[in-house]
């Protein structure tokens, strides 16, 4: 019968300094130990370093204890050694880790501010599901606070549903994604334009110039809520623009307001090798120059018919509606050589539902309820670059890349 292996968990805490890890492993290298897990976290200069080791034969605990305590004293750190046992073949997490039926998950929590009660509620729900929090990392502290929890032993769909309720109750955003290489494999992001990439609805801006703002805004809202057929509603609204001078389109384009964080999001993703696309129920004459300015790779939008320097009140076929946006996502992915599982789709209205469902990660950004309910995750903060946190990219990494280029 195989004898259980002895395990030792060595934990060092205190003020961080260079060389702690290498010196600890220098001590441990004197003994016949195998390293099965290691975690190191530094928060505001305070270090927590944990090393889980195991050995088949009973170790010389006195010698190990003496060596680790002497090292800790020399470095001004506190040390703790906990012994235990594990069955042969058990993983780093012991029996629980070896038998856990589910893989690792990333749980991302955003708040502005992020209150302790919200973190407690998220952690409590994770514990109630029978899962374990293995690590917590801060991704951002300004202008929103974002933390990421690495969770093991949870069923993704159930945990996502449970945490969606916590998010509503606590006024935070919570995303649940599979861990490992899945998230790092994302290579194409496709975004809606109106009320996503930009803060405006282009057709409402045009309607204001044509003197029919209230009528058009009412139809736009119903269409975004999914209450009207988008293509029919678009033609109805564009008809009200008949006779508008084409120069007004240029004026509207010049006055567009990007969503805060849009430039940072696109610039960062491009640095990382992503392809970026935009799809819009709006109009090419407004969208294409914006895409060129931002360095966006792919564009799909509607085309306004013009004659004698004026809008005719007609939109040209094919109309980019819900199905058109979904097909554009697929087309962009084929062009980029990226499977749909490695795409991210971001939108706010009902005509974004198709592409959000088709993408590997669907994000509802300050979206209508019907979109929030259907998306993988919802962001309700006014900063588009918070999407980076869902991809595991920290604010510090973004700022470091910005500094390196200047």
Other Cβ atoms closer than 10 A to 165: 12
Share of the chain above pLDDT 90, in %: 60
Domains and CATH numbers, the chain: 5-96 (3.30.70.260), 102-180 (3.30.70.260), 188-375 (3.40.50.1000)
pLDDT digits (tens, 9 = 90+) for 209-267: 999 999 888 888 887 777 778 888 899 999 999 999 999 999 999 999 999 999 999 99
Pairwise pLDDT comparison (29 vs 98), residue with the higher score: 29
Catalytic choice (194, 321, 376, 385): 194
Residue 127 in contact with residue 160, Cβ under 8 Å?
Answer: no
Please confirm whether the linkage preceding 143 is cis (ω < 30° from 0). Answer: yes
Question: What does the mean pLDDT of the chain come to?
Answer: 88
pLDDT of residue 101: 46
Cα-to-chain-centroid distance, residue 305: 38
Q: Is the pLDDT of residue 174 over 60?
A: yes
Residue 321 in contact with residue 234, Cβ under 8 Å?
Answer: yes
pLDDT digits (tens, 9 = 90+) for 304-322: 999 999 999 999 999 999 9
| Greatest pairwise CA separation for the chain in angstroms | 92
What is the residue whose two structure tokens read 């700022």? 399
What order of strands is seen across the sheet that includes strand 105-111?
132-140, 145-152, 105-111, 173-178
Pairwise pLDDT comparison (148 vs 227), residue with the higher score: 148
Residue 346 in contact with residue 363, Cβ under 8 Å?
Answer: yes
User: What are the backbone angles phi and psi of residue 129, rounded to the nearest 5°?
Assistant: -80, -5
User: What are the backbone angles phi and psi of residue 59, rounded to the nearest 5°?
Assistant: -80, 165
200 flagged as catalytic:
no
Pairwise pLDDT comparison (135 vs 58), residue with the higher score: 135
What's this model's pTM, rounded to 2 decimal places? 0.79
Catalytic choice (134, 173, 192, 321): 192
Residue 145 in contact with residue 347, Cβ under 8 Å?
Answer: no
* Cα 59 to Cα 26, 65, 82, 122, 251, distances in angstroms: 17, 11, 13, 40, 77
Structure tokens at 165: 């309720």
The residue-averaged pLDDT of 132-159 equals 89
192 flagged as catalytic:
yes
Query: Residue 365's closest CA among 214, 230, 189, 206?
Result: 189
User: What are the backbone angles phi and psi of residue 103, rounded to the nearest 5°?
Assistant: -85, -170
Q: Is the pLDDT of residue 89 over 70?
A: no
233: three-class secondary structure by DSSP: helix
Please provide the size of the chain in residues.
406
Other Cβ atoms closer than 10 A to 278: 28
């Amino acid at each position: 019968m195989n004898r259980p292996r002895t395990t030792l968990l060595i934990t060092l805490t205190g003020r961080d300094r260079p060389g702690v890890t290498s010196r600890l492993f220098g001590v441990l290298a004197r003994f016949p130990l195998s390293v099965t897990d290691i975690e190191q976290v530094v928060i505001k200069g305070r270090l927590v370093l944990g090393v889980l080791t195991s050995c088949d034969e009973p170790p010389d605990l006195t010698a190990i204890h003496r060596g680790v305590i002497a090292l800790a004293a020399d470095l001004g750190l506190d040390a703790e050694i906990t012994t235990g046992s594990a069955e042969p073949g058990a993983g780093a997490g012991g029996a629980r880790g070896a038998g856990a039926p589910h893989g690792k998950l990333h749980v991302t929590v955003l708040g502005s501010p992020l209150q302790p009660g919200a973190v407690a509620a998220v952690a409590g729900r994770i514990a109630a599901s029978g899962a374990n929090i293995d690590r917590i990392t801060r991704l951002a502290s300004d202008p929103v606070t974002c933390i990421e929890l690495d969770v093991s032993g949870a069923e993704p769909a159930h945990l996502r549903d449970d945490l969606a309720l916590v998010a509503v109750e606590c006024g935070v955003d919570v995303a649940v994604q599979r861990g490992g290489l899945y998230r790092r494999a994302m290579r194409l992001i496709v975004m809606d334009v109106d009320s996503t990439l930009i803060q405006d609805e282009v057709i409402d801006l045009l309607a204001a110039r044509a003197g029919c703002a209230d009528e058009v805004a009412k139809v736009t809202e119903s269409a975004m809520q999914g209450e009207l057929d988008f293509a029919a509603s678009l033609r109805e609204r564009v008809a009200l623009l008949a006779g508008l001078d084409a120069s007004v389109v240029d004026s509207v384009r010049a006055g567009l307001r990007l969503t805060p964080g849009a430039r940072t999001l696109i610039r960062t993703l491009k640095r990382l090798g992503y392809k970026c696309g935009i799809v819009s129920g709006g109009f090419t004459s407004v969208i294409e120059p914006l895409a060129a300015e931002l360095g966006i790779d792919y564009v799909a939008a509607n085309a306004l018919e013009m004659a004698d320097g004026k809008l005719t009140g007609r939109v040209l076929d094919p109309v980019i509606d819900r199905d058109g946006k979904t097909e554009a996502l697929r087309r962009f992915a084929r062009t980029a050589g990226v499977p749909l599982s490695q795409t991210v789709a971001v939108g706010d209205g009902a005509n974004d539902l198709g592409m959000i469902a088709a993408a590997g990660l669907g994000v509802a950004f300050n979206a209508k309820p019907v979109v929030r309910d259907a998306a993988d995750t919802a962001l309700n903060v006014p900063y588009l670059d918070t999407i980076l946190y869902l991809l595991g990219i920290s604010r510090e990494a973004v700022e470091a890349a910005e500094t390196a280029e200047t």
